[in-house]
Structure formats: structure tokens, C-alpha cells
Amino acid sequence: MSALATCDVAIIGAGPAGATAAYLLARQGYDVRLFDRRGFPRPKLCAGLLTWKSIDLLERIFGQSLDRLKDHGLIVHTCREYRIYYKMKEIGGGRLDFPFHFVERPAYDHHWLRLAERAGAKTITGTAVTGVDAEAGRLTLADGRAFGARMLIGADGVWSKARRALPEQIFNERRWRANLAATIEIRHPNDSTLPPSECACLHFGYVPRGYAWSFPGRTARTLGIAGLRTPRSGSIRKDFQTFLNSVGVATDMEACWKGSPLPYGNYLEQPVHRRLLLIGDACGLADPLLGEGIYYAHASASIAATAMVEANLEAGPAGRMYRERLNRTLIRELRWIKLWRTALFFGGRLRRYRGLGLFCRLLPKRLEAAVQGRHPFSRLLLPGSGRNHNPQIG
Ligand SMILES: Cc1cc2nc3c(=O)[nH]c(=O)nc-3n(C[C@H](O)[C@H](O)[C@H](O)COP(=O)(O)OP(=O)(O)OC[C@H]3O[C@@H](n4cnc5c(N)ncnc54)[C@H](O)[C@@H]3O)c2cc1C
């Protein structure tokens, strides 16, 4: 039997969360191995929207400004106008102070992976991690190889294998599934039947506990739908079809539909067990209103890596620091977003989103600032403090 290969940190999953953690830890001189079942660049279903807080965080973590991201060709589209609809009735909208930026995920994710490699992380792609032992700090791969590490990071997305290494009293499968949204997305070429528009549109009223979107792009619009499912929910495919019909998209596109689950309020407050920390989608860290997860992937990776460096890879202290800081920053904000979602968005459907419409008319800039991360959702009804709200991560 060959000797067990060992390293300081083994990271499962090389998406934005895993690549960010690998970059930050490798830069500190740790021996980091980054595993992904896919070869890169790999496809990833995503609308690719970056809000202000993501752009700000990328500069703080990687030192790459918006101009650098554009120079690298990562920002493929920018849009300043947005509209909010209840079905086809416009209930809000305007001009954004800071535009939405759009990326193509294969190139975007590959970029951060290359930076992690340049910082010294060793990547092993094209073979899945099939076993995770959080107690021993050990991974096994589909090809039979095994790796030992002082600490493990689970960054393997919504279907995380690493998450299964958490004991039942920490990971509640029922709560997880109850807050997992179904999604469908398509790309609709710009030169087709749909009237051209440079507007990012959010549509409520097509799916009971979620929303549909239509985002502009360089060559195609991205149209999608996300919603929580209950035993009484109808088919999300039907909801999506109704949405496509009402915005005038030809109905013969079903063959191009792609779907994937999205964490939608199932963030784990205890994402730590023995030598293992979970980050990004594996930890349920996406915004439970709009489903924005790229920011939370980078941010949770940064919090985890900082805790591990400060604890010099001592699993106990690193885990405690990560859990405490994550709850104080990202999870606190996600809890508030979830509360607002119930009050304004999901609850609002019974009154045809009149509350949301009123909010959009009276406090449009406050809502915009909260979505962009410049104003906390906990203070949505209060004026801004003028401070930069983005938690000091990175
Ligand atoms: C339809 C849709 C639209 C979205 N739109 C947006 C948006 O516009 N803006 C936004 O911010 N967020 C959006 N999101 C959310 C966003 O895509 C995720 O939150 C983000 O990708 C999370 O990053 P991650 O690194 O945690 O996981 P991922 O990007 O999923 O990366 C996980 C990696 O782990 C690898 N992996 C999985 N299992 C294993 C295994 N067993 N062994 C080895 N490797 C493994 C995978 O191959 C993958 O590369 C959207 C999501 C969906 C579904």
C-alpha cells in the first residue's frame, strides 16, 4: 500500500469559495491541496450577477479592482437600469447608483483557481472526493487515492459530500431541504424575438415563494426562476413556462432549460466538525431573497482562512473563531434578509405585492443599497449611517 500523501489543508471544491480559501492559505506558506471533480474551466449554472459588495470584496481579497476585472475580460456586461414587476405590472425600478456587473462563470471561476495555483496551491482536478473523515483529517478520491491533512475545508457546493461528515445533531437534513430552492435558467439570444432591453428585471408573482428574473447580457439574456417547494407547490417548470410566455419568449426552448438547487435560507450556523469547516454553498450561504451566492462564497472563504491562519491550523480554536465570526457577520445579515423576505416578498403575494410596491416607491434607494450591501438589512427602515456596511472581511 502506498504511503498516505499529507498536506496542511485539503480543500474539496475549487469554485469561488474553495479557490479563495486556497489562495489565502497558500499565500501564508501553507501546503494546500485543492480537489475538484471537474476539470477547469467547467460549466456552472448561474446568472453571474455581481453586486457592489462582491466587487468591493474582490479588491480587498485579491487586490483586483473593477478595472482589472474588466481588463481580464471577466466582466462581460454591465447594466444600470432595473425594474421590479408583479407579473407584468411594474411596481418599482430606476437607475442604479452602482451598476450590476455580469460574469460568465466558467471563465470567472477559472481565473480565481489560477490565482490560487500561482500562490502555491496544488490542484487535483477531474476526480471526485468520495469520502471525508473529519475526525482523522482524511479524504479519499474516486480513483482510490487518499490524502491526510491537518485541516479540511468543504467547499463542494450545494450537493456537498463534505457536509455529510457532519453529525446529525449539527446538520438537520429536513431544515436543509425545506430551504432549498428549485431553479431553472435559460440563455435567450439577443437577436431573437425578445425586444432588446438593457434592464435587469425581477418578476414576482409567478412562483409562490421565489421570483423570476431576466438579465441582459452581451450576446444573450438570462431568464430564470427560483422558488421554495412545498408538498402543495405545483411544477416549477409550469411556473417558468408561464413566465416565459408572459415576457414573450418562444415556448419551444424547453430542451435548453437547465436546473440546479440553490441554498435559499438553509445556512448552517454550526458549519464546523473536528478538522472540517464548511464554506460557500456547502454551508448554505446564499442570500435567501435573490439567491446571490458568489459574494458569500468568497466572504466565507476569507473568514475561514483568516481564522485558520490566526489559530495556526489548530482545529479547535480555528473552528470556534470561524463559527463565531461567520455568525456575527454573514449569518446575521442572512437572518435579517430572511425576515424581510417573509414580511415584504413572500408574505406580500397575498396582497399582490402591494407592500413591496409601496416600499419601492417610498424607499427605493434604501432597498437598492441593502441589495448592493451598502446598507444592512437590519436597518432597512432606518436611514444610513454613511459608513461602508460591507463587513470587514478580506
Ligand atoms: C440558477 C442559478 C443562478 C444563480 N445566479 C447567481 C447570481 O447571479 N449571482 C450570485 O452571486 N450567485 C448566483 N447563484 C449562486 C451561486 O452560483 C453559488 O452561490 C456559488 O456558485 C457558490 O460557490 P461555491 O464555490 O460555494 O460552490 P460552486 O461554485 O458550486 O463550486 C463547488 C465546486 O465543488 C466541486 N465538487 C462538488 N462535489 C465534489 C466532490 N465530491 N469532489 C470534488 N469536487 C466536488 C464542483 O465541481 C464545483 O466546482 C446562482 C445559482 C443558481 C443555481
- Ligand 1 contacts (CB < 6 A) are 12-18, 35-38, 42, 44-49, 128-129, 155-157, 161, 183, 185, 224, 260, 262, 280-282, 286, 291-295, 297
218 part of a folded domain: no
What distance lies between CA 208 and its chain's CA centroid?
Answer: 22
Q: How far apart are CA 336 and CA 333, in angstroms?
A: 5
3-state secondary structure of 221: strand
89 part of a folded domain: no
308 part of a folded domain: yes
139 part of a folded domain: yes
Q: Which helix (H) or strand (E) holds 98?
A: strand 89-103
Identity of the residue numbered 131 = G
CB atoms closer than 10 angstroms to residue 197: 16
Closest Cα to atom 21 of ligand 1: 294
Q: How far apart are CA 63 and CA 55, in angstroms?
A: 11
Task: Measure 347 CA to ligand 1 centroid, in angstroms.
Answer: 28
Closest Cα to atom 38 of ligand 1: 156
74 part of a folded domain: yes
* Residue 303's CATH number: 3.50.50.60
Per-residue pLDDT of the chain (394 residues; tens, 9 = 90+): 456 899 999 999 999 999 999 999 999 999 999 999 999 999 999 999 999 999 999 999 999 999 999 999 999 999 999 999 998 899 999 999 999 999 999 999 999 999 999 999 999 999 999 999 999 999 999 999 999 999 999 999 999 999 999 998 889 899 999 999 999 999 988 876 666 678 999 999 999 889 999 999 988 899 999 999 877 788 899 999 999 999 988 766 667 889 999 999 999 999 999 999 999 999 999 999 999 999 999 999 999 999 999 999 999 999 999 999 999 999 999 999 999 998 877 766 667 788 888 889 999 999 999 999 999 999 988 887 655 566 656 5
Helices (H), 179-262: 236-247
Task: Compute the C-alpha angle 339/289/75, nearest 5°.
Answer: 145
142 part of a folded domain: yes
- Pocket mutation for ligand 1, best pick of 24, 37, 140 (most atoms within 8 Å of C-beta): 37
- Pocket mutation for ligand 1, best pick of 152, 281, 326, 330 (most atoms within 8 Å of C-beta): 281
DSSP 3-state percent helix, strand, coil across the chain (nearest 5):
35, 25, 35
Q: Give the structural domain span for 51.
A: 5-79+99-174+267-345
Q: How far apart are CA 317 and CA 121, in angstroms?
A: 23
373 part of a folded domain: no
Pairing of strands 262-263, 89-103: unpaired
- Pocket mutation for ligand 1, best pick of 24, 78, 156 (most atoms within 8 Å of C-beta): 156
394 part of a folded domain: no
Count the domains in the chain. 1
Q: How far apart are CA 215 and CA 198, in angstroms?
A: 8
Q: How far apart are CA 249 and CA 339, in angstroms?
A: 33
Q: Under a CB-based contact definition with an 8 Å cutoff, are residues 162 and 45 in contact?
A: no
Task: Measure 366 CA to ligand 1 centroid, in angstroms.
Answer: 29
